[in-house]
Structure 1
Amino acid sequence: MALSGHAEIAGAGFGGLVAAIGLADRGWSVRVHERRQVLQAEGYGIAIQDNMTRIFAALGILDAILAGGMEIDRRDSLNGKGEILLSLQNGLGRYRISRRHIISLLAERADQTGVEIVTGSTVTGANPDGTLELDDHKTCRADLIIAADGINSVIRESLGLMERQVWQKEGGVRMVIPRLPEDVARDARDGTAMIEAWSDKRRILYCPNSPSEVYVILTCMERDLPGRATPIDRPAWQSSFPTMAPLLERISRDTDWEECRWVRFQTIRLKRWSVGRVAILGDAAHAMPPYLGQGAGHAMMNGLGLAVAIDEAPELASALDLWERRERPMTEHTQRWTRIYGATIFLPERLKSLAINAEKHIPWLAHQYSRAATHLPTGCDLSSAS
């Protein structure tokens, strides 16, 4: 007989909302706590790869999700001179979509399923017995608590589950800028591209995020003070990417800098993903650098996988064990390979070119990078692929 009960979830991000929907669809009552007064996602754009489209299809919201984004025809990898080193069809994501658009549709789907979402509710900790602690000294009891409260998870810390937290040498700042008529005309003529440029120990990635926006992330070393500066130090970035001067001027002029901050990348590994009645999900459990575009993907895959495991198992402890055994290996594979991909930023210019082209000439390597994207998530079927 399938388990049923009440779940309390900390965090209304990708993982928390997908887990909430998955549990509610399987007969659970669910309440989600979000510390912000309004629902919004960290960051701006997200690459939607095949594993994610399968999740959205399984939830019945794929068409609505894709209606708010852009289909990407190819990924062009450039050097600092603007020369194309590699061009791949649908590399690192078939679609690019606003995170806010996705969160709004997930929240709407959760509401339709009977999930209660409480905004302005700050979680301060949890106990393995199923007690969730709030900042107003109130507590909530649950059969299951899901900590989807982000990279600085207070629940994870209150339970002492951290095994290893690796602060990467690099980080990035994200922004969106208006998409210009000439951008639209170029994309209509040449195809819509995601551009990824590498030079010195810096990286620029940009592509359309919606019909009206372009998403950008600037990556550099933590010790690169000019590279980290916000607002952007345009001469510093132009010294590395001289052919991108017009883009850098637009970034400098059109970015809402009050909404932007440079963030150092982290990799997080836990001793285990659950203890007692508490499961840890998303960046709280397995944060990773963004190079392969699968942080949100794994949060959603693992959120749906958790709901499926609970539905399959006779009791909670065995469900949580099954969930971790099934989902953790793929998650840690992506953590490892996103760091390998990102190591390109540290290479001398000539080796950068070789490393980038290796993806095209070594099929095994390309497969490692794309394993999560081509993975069939638990709770989905092949017919749900778009």
Structure 2
Amino acid sequence: MTKKRHAEIAGAGFAGLAAAAALGQRGWSVRVHEMNSELRAFGAGIFIWDNGLRVLNAIGAYLDVRNGAFAAPAYETRTDGKCLSFQAINGPGQYRLLTMTRQHLHAAMVKAALAAGAELVTSSEAVGATPEGELLLADGSRLPADIVLGCDGVRSRVRDSLAIPQERNKYKDGIIRVLTDRTGLKGGEWDHVIDFWAHSPRTLRILYTPSGENDLYMAMMAPVADTEASSIPINPAPWIECFPQLAPALTRLGDRGRYDVYETTKLPYWSVGRVAIVGDSAHAMPPTLAQGAGCAITNALGLAVALEETDTVEAALELWEKRERPLTDHTQRRAAEIAASRVLASGMKWDDEGLRAARHIPTGAAMPFVDAA
């Protein structure tokens, strides 16, 4: 009997869980290490375009994600009170975009990983890896594997332990991500995703996003230099001054949220020996195209497919990066350009430059969607 190939994965975020499910489905034994004491996602909302939905379908998480997500009928941009772009979505022949809480998505992906046979270990902190294929833990353990995956986020210790050069860039804006409820903001236009911008009396942005029947996600962009608007706890005054129509939600935010500066991380290569760097660890990008998670889970599935198609881990890693990297690099570059220029204030650009990833059919995800009867 052929021995199962084994993977050790650092990080039980979206990239790690997608990789665990995809590898488990292909006969691998998989162990995922989460440094926190429980499996959870940061409490905000998230966008999943069609490419990400296809990946979720391929790993068996789509139905659980769809049930409880929100399918807005339109996406519009309003700048200084004027509608500059309007796009119908989620109808026949239209772009598909589901919005949801990050915890909803995370729970569905945990379920898919477990169903594929993955072992998920909490309070297990990865601190590095060796090119020979060992995951190193904070407790001194050295765990050998056929492949190690560093899916441990922007501050990846697995990546850094391998001394991979990094190109890091930060931008003039940052974002506060908060969840609240939709009380007073339901029905009609309030069921749309609305990108609110203000240039007077200051430049601020709120990406208003229904994320379930009762959940509202607001991505609140403020310049780093605007210490009043970027402060935590959130000071609602400057936000209400720019967006008075959102006062019902802004006045009940309390001390929720955190402020993160837009940034990118780019690596010259995504693997060293038997270690692959996946997701934000490899290609963190500003959230301006809502493709951070989409690219992460696309590349996780693509890696599992490459390992299935080749005879050695080294060959698989070479094929994987050659096949998946061009689209990821394009998406990261375009997201960074948008972050630097604030061009979205002029209206959502529904073109190939912005939505190439959204229209992409990921490697291993071409099968029809499995919808409930």
TM over 0.5: yes
Provide TM-score, normalisation by structure 1: 0.89
The one of 342, 347, 366 equivalent to 1:356 is 347
The one of 320, 327, 331 equivalent to 2:324 is 327
Go from structure 1 to structure 2 and tell me whether the alpha carbon gap of 1:4 and 1:167 turns closer, same or farther (over 3 Å shift): farther
Partner Cα separation in structure 1 for residue 341 and residue 41 of structure 2: 28
Go from structure 1 to structure 2 and tell me whether the alpha carbon gap of 1:93 and 1:165 turns closer, same or farther (over 3 Å shift): farther
Shift of 1:248: 3.6
Aligned-partner residue type, residue 239 of structure 2: W
Partner of 2:40: 40
Go from structure 1 to structure 2 and tell me whether the alpha carbon gap of 1:382 and 1:285 turns closer, same or farther (over 3 Å shift): same
Structure 2 SS opposite 1:227: coil
Please say if 1:175 is aligned against 2:174.
Answer: no
Please say if 1:235 is aligned against 2:237.
Answer: yes
Go from structure 1 to structure 2 and tell me whether the alpha carbon gap of 1:249 and 1:383 turns closer, same or farther (over 3 Å shift): closer
Partner Cα separation in structure 2 for residue 371 and residue 87 of structure 1: 19
Shift of 1:216: 0.3
Aligned-partner residue type, residue 365 of structure 2: C
The CA deviation string for residues 212-260 of structure 1, in whole angstroms up to 9 with x for no partner, is 1100011111121011012222232234x2xx2242452232x252x42
Please say if 1:247 is aligned against 2:246.
Answer: yes
How many correspondences in the alignment? Answer: 363
Please say if 1:207 is aligned against 2:206.
Answer: no
Deviates more, 1:204-213 or 1:145-154: 204-213
Partner of 1:363: none
Query: Can you give the 5+ residue segments of structure 2 that lack an aligned partner in the other structure?
Result: none
Partner Cα separation in structure 1 for residue 323 and residue 254 of structure 2: 41
Shift of 1:109: 1.5
Partner of 1:197: 196
Instruction: Report if aligned partners of 2:75, 2:192 keep a CA contact under 8 Å in 1.
Output: yes
Instruction: Report if aligned partners of 2:48, 2:293 keep a CA contact under 8 Å in 1.
Output: no
Shift of 1:41: 1.7
Aligned-partner residue type, residue 380 of structure 1: A
Instruction: Report if aligned partners of 1:232, 1:252 keep a CA contact under 8 Å in 2.
Output: no
Shift of 1:284: 0.4
Provide TM-score, normalisation by structure 2: 0.92
Shift of 1:43: 4.6
Partner of 1:77: 77
Go from structure 1 to structure 2 and tell me whether the alpha carbon gap of 1:3 and 1:306 turns closer, same or farther (over 3 Å shift): farther
Partner of 2:20: 20
Partner of 1:145: 148
Structure with greater helix share of residues: 1
Shift of 1:191: 7.3
Deviates more, 1:334-343 or 1:316-325: 334-343
Instruction: Report if aligned partners of 1:68, 1:98 keep a CA contact under 8 Å in 2.
Output: no
Aligned-partner residue type, residue 149 of structure 1: D
Structure 2 SS opposite 1:71: coil
Please say if 1:119 is aligned against 2:122.
Answer: yes
Instruction: Report if aligned partners of 1:3, 1:311 keep a CA contact under 8 Å in 2.
Output: no
Partner of 2:228: 226
* % identical aligned pairs: 37
The one of 358, 361, 369 equivalent to 1:376 is 361
Aligned-partner residue type, residue 162 of structure 2: L
The CA deviation string for residues 100-146 of structure 1, in whole angstroms up to 9 with x for no partner, is 11111111121122110001111111111111111111221111000
Aligned-partner residue type, residue 7 of structure 1: A
Partner Cα separation in structure 2 for residue 373 and residue 3 of structure 1: 38
Partner Cα separation in structure 2 for residue 34 and residue 318 of structure 1: 28
Aligned-partner residue type, residue 275 of structure 1: V
Partner of 1:367: 352
Partner Cα separation in structure 2 for residue 93 and residue 297 of structure 1: 13
Shift of 1:3: 10
Instruction: Report if aligned partners of 1:177, 1:213 keep a CA contact under 8 Å in 2.
Output: yes
Instruction: Report if aligned partners of 1:195, 1:206 keep a CA contact under 8 Å in 2.
Output: yes
Go from structure 1 to structure 2 and tell me whether the alpha carbon gap of 1:40 and 1:256 turns closer, same or farther (over 3 Å shift): farther
Shift of 1:343: 3.6
The CA deviation string for residues 23-56 of structure 1, in whole angstroms up to 9 with x for no partner, is 1111110000001111112351111211111112
Deviates more, 1:311-320 or 1:220-229: 220-229
Partner of 1:107: 110
Aligned-partner residue type, residue 195 of structure 1: I
Partner Cα separation in structure 2 for residue 38 and residue 296 of structure 1: 20
